[in-house]
Structure 1
Amino acid sequence: MKKRMRITWAAIKMEIKQHRTTFAVYVLLRFFVIAMMILALLNRNYEHVFLCVLTLFLFIVPSFIQVRFKIELPSLLEIIILLFIFSAEILGEISSFYILFPMWDTILHTINGFLAAAIGFSLVDIMNKDERIQFHLSPLFMAIVAFSFSMTIGVVWEIYEFAADTFAGLDMQKDTIVHHITTVTLDATKSNIPITVDGIKDVVVNGKSLGLGGYLDIGLIDTMYDLIVNLIGAVTFSIFGFFYVKYRGKNTFINRFIPRRKNKKEDYLREAEMLLEEKSEE
């Protein structure tokens, strides 16, 4: 077991260093995360320390997937994934970009929709190219699978945010200030008639004014916005993916986002195993 872990870790290091541009981005982001973690330790902010450790772990995941499943991620896709992790955890959570820049969460969810569709699409594309598999999907069906995969990931993430808010007392589903609501709860006749209340300027809780300037929506609008922009990202990639398969090899742009199977020269797991065996013999 220990030998297998050593081989895998050696292969991951080789994988990371092999792609120079990706490696440079990885080292730079890792430096920033470690610096943030040291500052968090000095300030005894252990929640931020945990987020930094989680980020460092997530940085390794793309390379681990490439090594263990023998899948080659395009450099551009891998760099975007690394930047996405850094933007979500370090900038978003620790540096409060979600609060400082209201569109930050929207941008990340749009990118997430695009990337998730790319991953879903590539899974089907890899199976389509595998001679051992007896069925092959049409370009349209592959686009539908990619879209469905992306939306499923988006929904699962929103469920995670809801669970974190409900059971851990967090506020991942950010609140929205609105000035009118429509609800059947205020229907005195109990006839399921929606009643609209306009011009809401404040909310009073336990007799104390919150001074919000409107009604506090507790996450529903944020969740729906997230799913809508996820849909936009998913649809965008699904359209590109459809034409990628229909006119195979002619779309160089989308090639940069679709993983493929590794060839023998890119199998760093085998190479790492051979190197460790040579060292043990010495």
Structure 2
Amino acid sequence: MILAVIVVATMVRQFFLGNLEGLFMCLLTLILFMIPKTVEKTTKIQLPMTLEMVVLLFIFAAEILGEIHNFYGLFRYWDMSLHVLNGFLAAAIGFSMIDILNREDRFYIQMSPVFVTMVAFCFSMTIGVLWEFFEFGMDIFFNMDMQKDALIQKIVSVKLNPAGQNNPVILEHIKTTKVLLDNGRTVTLHGYLDIGLIDTMKDLAVNFVGAVIFSVFGYLYLKNRDKHHFAARFIPQLKQSRRK
């Protein structure tokens, strides 16, 4: 409720500022806030309180703080931290889907802890890839620049090989790049503009880190549920599951 009140206040402010994009982000955030409770009411799945709190904070940090208040630009590691958390949470969800089937008498199939954690890891990485597809699509079709560009000082490319051979040419210590537009205007960049590739690969790399972290906790949890119960705080369960 506290987060919802903050979002509503932010939405009112965005309305008076005439920021329609910010207004849409606030509405989207309020809709996303409803998903955890909606899942619990419409399914037999019980979300742990810790998981629900982290999900709500994640949405708030990404949409309100990150997009509207530009925490992505103000804090260097804001985006990276959220992608690590995304990898962790997605692995927890993937883990829960297999673990539920593995423990229910109706669907019972015996799977080793290694296999379950591998599925959770792969599920998390797939979610990460799909998100990068979404960012790319928004950038191409709606000019959003969700894949943040970066200025780099080094190019390694076979396109620059004068003989057309498959041997890369290396340009180092690039100081400036001049971009000439159709109207004759020139834009000077302090380096070479990378169009999102580095951002995408960093996002996938830190998503990998988050997925690995949960996979380790998940594996230990499967080996000894009573001793290593930290992972259980992030694993959805059936409300009346018949545990094996």
Size of the alignment, in residue pairs? 238
Match of 1:255 in 2: 232
| Correspondence 1:161-240 to 2 at 5 A | 161-206=135-180, 210-240=187-217
Q: What SS class does the counterpart of residue 182 from structure 1 fall into?
A: strand
CA contact (8 A) 1:202 1:209 kept: no
In structure 2, C-alpha distance between the alignment counterparts of 1:141 and 1:150, rounded to whole Å? 14
Identity across aligned pairs (percent)?
A: 51
Q: What SS class does the counterpart of residue 189 from structure 2 fall into?
A: coil
Q: Does residue 108 of structure 1 match 2:82?
A: yes
In structure 1, C-alpha distance between the alignment counterparts of 2:236 and 2:86, rounded to whole Å? 16
Match of 1:272 in 2: none
Query: In the TM superposition, what is the alpha-carbon distance from 1:252 to its structure 2 partner?
Result: 2.4
Which structure has the greater CA radius of gyration? 1
Match of 1:16 in 2: none
Q: What SS class does the counterpart of residue 205 from structure 1 fall into?
A: strand
CA contact (8 A) 1:203 1:209 kept: no
Q: Does residue 37 of structure 1 match 2:24?
A: no
Query: In the TM superposition, what is the alpha-carbon distance from 1:136 to its structure 2 partner?
Result: 2.0
CA contact (8 A) 1:113 1:230 kept: yes
Q: What SS class does the counterpart of residue 151 from structure 2 fall into?
A: strand
| Correspondence 1:1-282 to 2 at 5 A | 27-206=1-180, 210-263=187-240
Report the RMSD for the aligned CA atoms in angstroms: 1.3
In structure 2, C-alpha distance between the alignment counterparts of 1:134 and 1:109, rounded to whole Å? 33
Q: Match of 2:237, as an amino acid?
A: R
Q: Match of 2:189, as an amino acid?
A: L
CA contact (8 A) 1:147 1:235 kept: yes
Question: Where has structure 1 moved over 6 Å in runs of 4 or more?
Answer: none
Normalised by the length of structure 1, the TM-score is: 0.82
In structure 2, C-alpha distance between the alignment counterparts of 1:226 and 1:178, rounded to whole Å? 17
Greater alpha carbon shift after TM alignment, 243-252 vs 47-56: 243-252
Structure 2, gaps ≥5 residues long: none
In structure 2, C-alpha distance between the alignment counterparts of 1:189 and 1:211, rounded to whole Å? 29
Normalised by the length of structure 2, the TM-score is: 0.94
Q: What SS class does the counterpart of residue 209 from structure 2 fall into?
A: helix
In structure 1, C-alpha distance between the alignment counterparts of 2:228 and 2:188, rounded to whole Å? 54
Structure 1, gaps ≥5 residues long: 1-26, 265-282
**Higher helix residue share:** 1
Query: In the TM superposition, what is the alpha-carbon distance from 1:211 to its structure 2 partner?
Result: 4.2
Change in 2 beyond 3 A, CA 1:77/1:148:
same
CA contact (8 A) 1:110 1:233 kept: yes
Query: In the TM superposition, what is the alpha-carbon distance from 1:191 to its structure 2 partner?
Result: 1.1
Q: What SS class does the counterpart of residue 173 from structure 1 fall into?
A: coil
